[in-house]
Amino acid sequence: MILFEGKILPDEQLDDVLEKLWDSCLMAVTNRKDIAKLVINACGRVSEKIKTGAYDPILWVLLEKGAFTRTQLEEAITFFDKENLQLKYDTELGVLKKGTEDDRKASVEKRLEPLGILFHIAAGNAEGLPFFSVIEGLLAGNVNILKLPSVDDGISVMLLHEMIKEEPALAPYVCVLDVASTNVKILKTLADMADAIVVWGGDEAVMAARTMASPSTQIISWGHKLSFAYVSAGVVEKVEDYEPELYDLAKHICATNQLLCSSCQGIFVDTEDETVLLSVAERFLHILEEVRVDYPREKIGIRGKVSISLYNEELESIHTGHRVLRGKGVSVIIGSDSELELSYMFKNCWVKPLQRKNIIKSLKGKKGYLQTVGLICTEKERKELAELFVKTGLTHIVRPKNMSQMLPGGTHDGKYPLRRYSRIIEVER
């Protein structure tokens, strides 16, 4: 599916669109205006319509397919409410946009401007992420070219199309193309048009974007991150009192399937006692098993993959000393090292020891990959532990139930995207 100049076109017209795209982008840049208000209003109206069920006939297919639930959709769409987008805009750009009294008097005018043309390469792990990425580009005033992920369900195109219908003036600022990831030639052409490539994904995705980009094209990456939970020494003494937090964590693991950057991959426990580690692991396994029942079962391919990995982990345990605790559709692997690593995902996590005194030493090496910690600690420990985790480079220190919660006006991995999509120019008066 293609979205070009506000119209949905079939993929067969790709060559045609590519031919016109550069001129169309140049035209949009030439006629560029401050569109933030238009974007906020249009998104607000789309969001309202979703809530009142106006798009249900279209969304029904996706809901039926189980791509997401009604609640998830409603939660996500609140993000695009007029108030929330305005808050996001004000938080990220407001101060810079206004400037100070001194700035206004100076002989050189300082002003916030968009980067120009953004080429978004979005990942397919979260529904609607491509839409989200483009909206951020638009809020900063950019012209946006979006390459859809291969697994896209069409919701991003649909939402962008509806937004443009609400505000046709935005049409020149958005172009969505369904180009295969293997079509390097076209991707390079698109990359050459852009002032910056916005890439969502892991190290390999970012490297791929780098090989595509000429040295003069900026790469703005939203890379692969790792998140985990931490059980403090105070909690270890009385784990049974903290079961609600463990249930929250299990729900978070089941709801995100550990696929998001903010998803918990495993639990670090402040202990060096193996029996403590085992008892936390066993307790959590039962909770996870109990919670899992409320979530859909994985497809056979995923189950097969996890199954082989766990079996292999059992064989490897001769060397690693790891212990695999299996439950129905879930597992917990007890490790003896304190290495932060990716789990097998899909409701399979690890439990490892990490004493408070080793937190910085152990996590510092993971720079660039750290994102969220779900803290399970006594209220007395919270402040100090949080400060310690801040120093490792983590950007979100929250309670387990909020690990994947996104707040309006919040950051991506500790950064404000709208600022990354803008530049400050100086014009002599």
Q: Is 154 in the site for other proteins (CB under 8 A)?
A: no
How many Å apart are CA 125 and CA 67, to the nearest integer?
11
How far apart, in whole angstroms, are the C-alpha atoms of residue 11 and residue 186?
14
307 or 355: whose CB is closer to other proteins?
A: 307
CB of 224 to other proteins, least distance (A): 5
Q: How far is the CB of 232 from other proteins (least distance, A)?
A: 27
Rounded to the nearest angstrom, the gap between the alpha carbon of residue 162 and the centroid of all alpha carbons in its chain is 23
Residue ranges in 388-407 that form contacts with other proteins under rule CB under 8 A: none
Minimum Å gap between C-beta 96 and other proteins is: 29
Which DSSP string corresponds to 2-61? EEETTEEE-GGGHHHHHHHHHHHHHHHHHT----HHHHHHHHHHHHHHHHTTTTHHHHHH
Q: How far is the CB of 252 from other proteins (least distance, A)?
A: 16
Q: Answer for the pair 407, 372: CB distance below 8 angstroms, yes or no.
A: no
Q: Which is nearer to other proteins, 318 or 427 (CB)?
A: 318
Phi and psi at residue 141, to the nearest 5°: 95, 10
**Which residues have a Cβ under 8 Å from the Cβ of 48 and sit 6 or more positions away?**
none
Q: How deeply is 71 buried, as exposed, middle or buried, from its count of CB atoms within 10 A (0-12, 13-18, 19+)?
A: exposed
Give the residue, chosen from 26, 34, 56, 311, that forms a contact with other proteins under the rule CB under 8 A.
311
169 touching other proteins, by CB under 8 A: no
Partnered with residue 200 across adjacent β-strands are: 222
Distance, in Å, from the CA atom of 92 to the CA atom of 87, rounded to the nearest integer, reads 8
Please give the backbone phi and psi of residue 289, each rounded to the nearest 5 degrees, phi first: -65, -40
Residue 151 binding other proteins, by CB under 8 A: yes
Which of 117, 159, 194, 199 binds other proteins (CB under 8 A)? It is 199
C-beta of residue 351 within 8 angstroms of C-beta of residue 208: no
Q: In angstroms, give the least distance from the CB of 348 to other proteins.
A: 13
**3-state DSSP assignment of residue 253:** helix
Nearest-angstrom CA–CA distance, 312 and 314: 5
Q: Closest approach of Cβ 349 to other proteins, in Å?
A: 15
Applying CB under 8 A, among 218, 309, 336, 411 the residue interacting with other proteins is 309
Contact 167, 142 (CB under 8 A): no
Nearest in space to 375 (alpha carbons), one of 281, 240, 251, 268: 268
Shortest separation between residue 312's beta carbon and other proteins, angstroms: 5
Closest to other proteins by CB, 13 or 150: 150
DSSP string, 350-390: EEEE--GGGHHHHHHTTTTTEEEEEEE--HHHHHHHHHHHH
Whole-number minimum distance, CB 298 to other proteins, in Å? Answer: 8
Residue recorded with tokens 């403090």: 232
Asked whether position 316 contacts other proteins by CB under 8 A, the answer is yes
Is residue 177 within the footprint of other proteins (CB under 8 A)?
A: no
Stretch that binds other proteins, among 108-116, 315-323, 348-356, 386-394 (CB under 8 A): 315-323
Q: How far is the CB of 23 from other proteins (least distance, A)?
A: 27
Query: Interface with other proteins by CB under 8 A: which range of 12-20, 160-168, 302-310, 403-411?
Result: 302-310
202 binds other proteins (CB under 8 A): yes
Question: Which residue in the set 15, 23, 102, 204 belongs to the binding site for other proteins (CB under 8 A)?
Answer: 204
Tell me whether residue 141 or residue 329 sits nearer to other proteins (CB atom).
329
Pick the stretch among 101-109, 232-240, 308-316, 347-355 that binds other proteins (CB under 8 A).
308-316
44 or 149, CB closer to other proteins? 149
Interface with other proteins (CB under 8 A), residue total: 50
Q: Does 237 bind other proteins (CB under 8 A)?
A: no
- Please report, as ranges, the residues that interact with other proteins according to CB under 8 A: 121-125, 149-151, 181-182, 184, 187, 199-205, 207-209, 211-212, 224-225, 259-261, 298-309, 311-312, 314-318, 329, 345
